[in-house]
Structure 1
């Protein structure tokens, strides 16, 4: 019975991303990264000084401009030197990560507690909280007060006897006409104001109706997102339950998935990223793994960066060819041991009895132009032979020889195992 796994599953991808975050956090503690950050800060500081010096030169007199030009030039040189130092810090970190491919994995326990992958549903925050707030009520125009008619007092005494009643009647008539004019103006103002307020009310109602409709839609989408989230969590946990049960029953597919999770935890440097293909044979209790390493042309060959004042360029010096070949071969050998160690250490139940491993490179055959895969290491070992090796104290290439592995005589030249003399 054999099951083949080539792509990371859902749980493996979660673990891979989690370990990526952990690795980035750990890298921040390293001296090389601290030096890199310092170099960045220095470059930024020098750039600011250069900018200030250039601005001062534009405002200064001839003598002052000359001095400012010199200051700007010095600031530019310092900025470029800081840029070169930044590149060197990044390069040192990359080389260090590759040199420590094997020791990096010895510092961690590669066993994966599958129960720790169990998820719990969380409350998803409502993403449109502004819709919960009602639209502000409109500020209505003040309704004008209705005018009040105040009758004139009738004449009394001698004034009434001498014709005052006629004058009073004329005054009352004039007052009534004036009141009726005011009343008509008030009615027009009232109608206008009520019309404006009705428009404000209608606009508010329309806005509030739109808000409530949008709120209902947002709530519906939120409820659907919660339902989807809970369903995904339930499916993930159900899948986890099946995986745990499958491991207990020694199912090949479950073992393959667990190995995928373990290998997804193994984060390699950006300059030397690998991928895996693996299958577990339950009958022989043997795990077959192919580790796909980066090709030689992707391997870092820079030795250092240096700023050249004469041409204002940052130049790169390269490692000697022999050194590059040695480092690449060492990285390939360490990858073989690292992968074997991680799988055996993670398999606490000792389901896997032996590992058949190849470290290979996908490339283009220079003779035919066809895509081809070249094995650079083949290792077959069982738990009893591998575990006694103290990996913290070994030379990887010597350990492979001790384990009777087949190793390319020139991995950097992509010399195949079966025909060492084809390529040099």
Structure 2
């Protein structure tokens, strides 16, 4: 069966490439002209705006010159007041942002208690959905062209024969001559008609050819875009299938308590744990299936990246905004508190997310990657070590505790000066 779209595509593949290139070239030229026009309009608008601004400045300058000295002083005073108000508002905004940052950092533990850290793995199952065809305009055939009307064929009209006495007096010979002259004239008319008819046929053929080229180019483009779309859809289905297969493997692995599956699930849980922008952390972990223990290292930000500004203030005298630093003791206290919270938060998230109670215990370390000032080598400084069982940890009401006291209660070890990166002694976590 003949399919015009398939047939058109075949023709386009044989001879439509040049037509498509020409079509795209024309489109590019059209876009270039449009862009040039748009740029000219923008230029003209900019010139008009500049001229308007110049006129406004001239009027303002003239008004200023006409104003009294008292008016000028009042205007300058009002401008200064407005400037000071703007700077003071800037300080208020900076201090509000600073206070919000400290609130987020100080409530690391409280923030996680407000959410359920369990991850419903089925919610991670993907669906390919519908991949939209990105060139819907190609689906519509080119409009049928309008052709020139063919000129009508002329009709020969013979001169009327003589009647009455004129015919009897030799009018027939005269009529014959008239008919002959009319026929010669009609022959010329027919020639002109045939010429016009040929021109019309040629113009219509050109219109038809251009339409066919445009339609062939459309079919070429449509076929290519459909091919790419089908590839995109197939790729999307493969990716979704692979993702869901991995999810099925993860669910099965957790059911059979495979260490790799538990590691992957814990990674998902910890990835869901959102930290303040000013205090980003990362994790390293592995699950010991034989002992049902999760070993995890929480990497805290270096103290050098910890915010140390107490507040911002505006000095009118020099028109500057300055920052007052937190006292060193306050920096140490806040950083130590955050490190302790970090340990309890991580343990809480893992135990709460493990509804199947696959993990019996956690061996946790909070550390900071730093440079050894003595050797210049990269080093990892342990700031907290905690070994705790599910049975010991879960009964604790974390919403009412002092984190450092809780670590001590759980026989954990904490650096005496986390902010100064004072290392821990080698104790406090099961080997």
TM-score, normalised by the number of residues in structure 1: 0.79
Deviations 1:244-272 (A, max 9, x none): 12112111111111111111111111111
Contact 1:57-1:68 within 8 A present in 2 as well: no
Partner of 2:410: 403
- Provide the residue aligned with 1:143 in structure 2: 150
1:386 is the counterpart of 2:393? yes
Structure 2 Cα separation of the partners of residues 92 and 160 of structure 1 = 123
Indicate which of 94, 102, 110 corresponds to 1:103. Answer: 110
1:301 aligns with 2:308: yes
Unpaired stretches in structure 2, ≥5 consecutive residues: 1-51, 427-431
Which residue in the other structure is 1:369 paired with? 376
Where 2:274 maps in the other structure, the secondary structure is coil
**What's the CA shift for 1:346?**
1.1
Does the residue aligned with 1:270 lie in a helix, a strand or coil?
coil
| Offset at residue 68 of structure 1 (A) | 6.7
1:403 and 1:58 mapped to 2: Cα distance? Answer: 77
**Structure 1's 53 and 106: CA in aligned 2 closer, same or farther, altered over 3 A?**
farther
Structure-2 residue corresponding to 1:195: 202
In structure 1, the partner of 2:59 is 59
Deviation digits for residues 274-326 of structure 1, max 9, x if unmatched? Answer: 11100011111111000111111221222333444444443333322222222
> Which residue in the other structure is 2:36 paired with?
none
Q: Which runs of 5+ in 1 are unaligned?
A: 1-51, 420-424
State the partner residue of 2:133: 126
Change (3 A) 1:133 1:411: same
Instruction: Describe the shift of the 1:321–1:195 C-alpha distance in structure 2 as closer, same or farther (beyond 3 A).
Output: farther
Instruction: Supply the distance in 1 between the matched residues of 2:174 and 2:255 (Cα, whole angstroms).
Output: 118
Structure 1 residues 178 and 313: alpha-carbon distance in aligned structure 2, compared to 1, 3 A threshold: farther
SS of 1:271's partner is coil
**Aligned match of 1:207:** 214
Q: Is the 8 A contact 1:277 1:289 kept in 2?
A: yes
| Distance apart, 1:196 and its partner CA | 2.0
Q: Return the offset for 1:70.
A: 6.2
Superposition map of 1:58-77 within 5 A? 58-60=58-60, 61-62=63-64, 63=66, 66=72, 75-77=82-84
Aligned residue pairs total 368
Q: If you compute each CA radius of gyration, which structure gives the higher value, 1 or 2?
A: 2
Name the structure 1 match of 2:223.
216
Q: Cα distance, 1:53 vs. partner?
A: 11
> Residue 314 of structure 1: SS of its match in structure 2?
strand
Deviation at 1:98, TM superposition (A): 0.9
Q: Which has the higher relative contact order, 1 or 2, with Cα contacts under 8 A spaced 6 or more apart?
A: 1
Q: 1:345 aligns with which of 348, 352, 358?
A: 352
> Could you say which residue in structure 1 is the equivalent of 2:367?
360
